[in-house]
Amino acid sequence: MNMLRVLLILSLAALSAEAARKPNILVIYSDDHGWADLGANGVDKDVRTPELDALARDGVRFTQGYVTAPQCVPSRAGLMTGRYQQRFGVDNNNKGPLPVEEKTIAERLKAAGYLTGQAGKWHLDIDGAKKAHRMMREHMPHAQGFDEYFRGEMRQFYASHDLQGRPFPDSPHLVTDARFRVEVQTEAALSFLERRKADAERPWFLYLAWFAPHVPLESPEPWFSRTPSHLPKERRQALAMIAAMDDGLGRIRRKLAESGADKDTLIFFIADNGAPLGKAWDGSLNLPMRGQKGMVSEGGNRVPFVAAWPGRIPAGTVHASPVISLDVAATALAAAGLPADPALDGVDLIPRLNGAAATPRTLYWRWGSQAAVLEHPHKLVLLGDRTKLLFDITDPAGEDAEADLLKRRPEIAEALEKKLMAWAATLKTPGLPTSFDRHHEELFATAGITKAPQGAGISTPQDEWICRNGKAERRDGALRITPEGTKRPFIARTGIDLKGPITIVLKGAGAGGKGAVSWRTEGQEDFLPANVRDFDWPADGQEEMVMLPTMQKVIHLRLMAPAGGTQAGLQSIRIMAPNGEKVWDFSGR
Catalogue the active-site residues.
72, 123
Cα distance between residue 431 and residue 243, in whole Å:
42
Judge whether 405 and 391 are in contact, CB under 8 Å. yes
State the DSSP code for 161.
Answer: B
Kindly report each contact of residues 396-401 with a partner whose C-beta sits within 8 Å and lies 24 or more positions away, as own/partner. 397/589, 398/288, 398/289, 398/290, 398/298, 399/289, 399/290, 399/291, 399/297, 399/298, 399/447, 399/449, 400/290, 400/448, 400/449, 400/583, 401/448, 401/449, 401/450, 401/451, 401/460
Nearest to 81 by CA among 101, 64, 62, 63: 101
State the DSSP code for 577.
Answer: E
Amino acid at 43: V
State the DSSP code for 227.
Answer: S
Residue 232: asked if its preceding bond is cis (omega within 30°), the reply is no
Q: In this structure, what are the phi and psi dihedrals at residue 483, rounded to the nearest 5 degrees?
A: -65, 150
Our CA angle for 218, 222, 223, nearest 5°, is: 60
Amino acid at 578: P
Nearest to 348 by CA among 330, 333, 323: 330
DSSP state letters, 384-406: TTTEEEEEETTSTT-S-GGG--T
Count of positions (residues) in the chain? 589
151 exposure class (CB count in 10 Å sphere: 0-12, 13-18, 19+): buried
SS3 of 474, please?
Answer: strand
Sign of CA dihedral 315, 316, 321, 327: positive
DSSP state letters, 265-317: EEEEEEESSPPP-GGG--S---TTS---TTSSSHHHHB--EEEE-TTTS-TTE
Judge whether 33 and 121 are in contact, CB under 8 Å. no
Cα distance between residue 95 and residue 390, in whole Å:
29
Judge whether 275 and 235 are in contact, CB under 8 Å. no
- Return the C-alpha torsion angle 321, 328, 241, 34, nearest 10: 30
